[in-house]
Amino acid sequence: MADYFLVLDGDAFEGRARPALAAAWRQRSFEPCRALCADLIPAAHLYAQRYHTGPDEPLLCRAAGALPFDRALWRTLVGEVLLFSALEIPEFQASADSLCCLLAPDRYRAEVTERERLAPIQQVHRGSRDLTFGAAVYRPDHAGYNNRADVARLAAYLAGVQPEAWTLHDLRELRGVTDDEERADELEFVREWFPALRELYERAGDRGQVIVFESIW
């Protein structure tokens, strides 16, 4: 399983993509989002060339035409719209479990997964809210959303975190780590990658962007 942060333009997503996909679900027709899909075809082709995804045509190419509505296809289409409209898909090691153990040990200990109970560091990695399109919820157990207000709030939170204050003792409950040597390695690793996570949210906040989190397997 792979976890992805998809950074999207806030105005374009909230003002166009989200309403179009919500209308498609509500009307049981791809007609409301055909123009959106057509506009994303060049980005889809560029993505296919860059990552060598094979000869299969993306679904949004068919949705831009006369493809009949289907609920399962709608969910696939949402995933493609998110992917092909993403301004940035950063590649870094998020270390979500270790950061939760360090910054929200009570939630880590209790293995909290309910979105309304997530600590800020968990919201950073999983989203503060479900990703909805009108009445439809997109992959509720595997996708989450941070809107512009969430991004700004979490950027401020991350800016106040002090990695230099973390200790081996703070990782004593980290599952799968059995001795101080392993804890020291993990602590060094998390400190190395944390600035990239903080910079991602700071950059997105400054640019009025939104972030979708999605787990794909």
The one-letter code for the residue type at 43 is: A
| Secondary structure element (H or E) that encloses residue 214, with its range | strand 209-216
> Would you tell me how many other CB atoms lie within 10 Å of the CB of residue 40?
23
Q: Where are the domains of the chain?
A: 2-216
pLDDT (mean) for 84-105 = 92
Q: What CA–CA distance (Å, rounded) separates 45 from 59? A: 12
What is the predicted pLDDT for the residue at 91?
83
pLDDT (mean) for 99-118 = 94
Q: What CA–CA distance (Å, rounded) separates 57 from 193? A: 36
Average pLDDT, the chain: 95
The answer to which of 21-30, 91-100, 101-110 has the lowest mean pLDDT is 91-100
Asked if residue 123 lies in contact with residue 211, where contact means CB atoms within 8 angstroms, the answer is: no
Q: What CA–CA distance (Å, rounded) separates 85 from 83? A: 6
Phi-psi region of 85 (alpha: psi -120 to 50; beta: other; left: phi over 0): alpha
Instruction: Choose between 53 and 7: higher pLDDT.
Output: 7
Residue 93's pLDDT band (cuts 50, 70, 90) = confident
What is the predicted pLDDT for the residue at 1?
61
pLDDT (mean) for 119-143 = 96
What's the predicted TM-score (pTM) here?
Answer: 0.94
Query: Any bridge partners for residue 215, and if so which?
Result: 3
CA distances from 114 to 99, 101, 139 (A): 18, 17, 14
pLDDT (mean) for 106-118 = 93
Percent of the chain clearing pLDDT 90 (strictly above) = 88
Highest mean pLDDT among 40-49, 91-100, 202-211: 202-211
pLDDT at 204 over 90: yes
pLDDT at 206 over 90: yes
Residue 102's pLDDT band (cuts 50, 70, 90) = very high
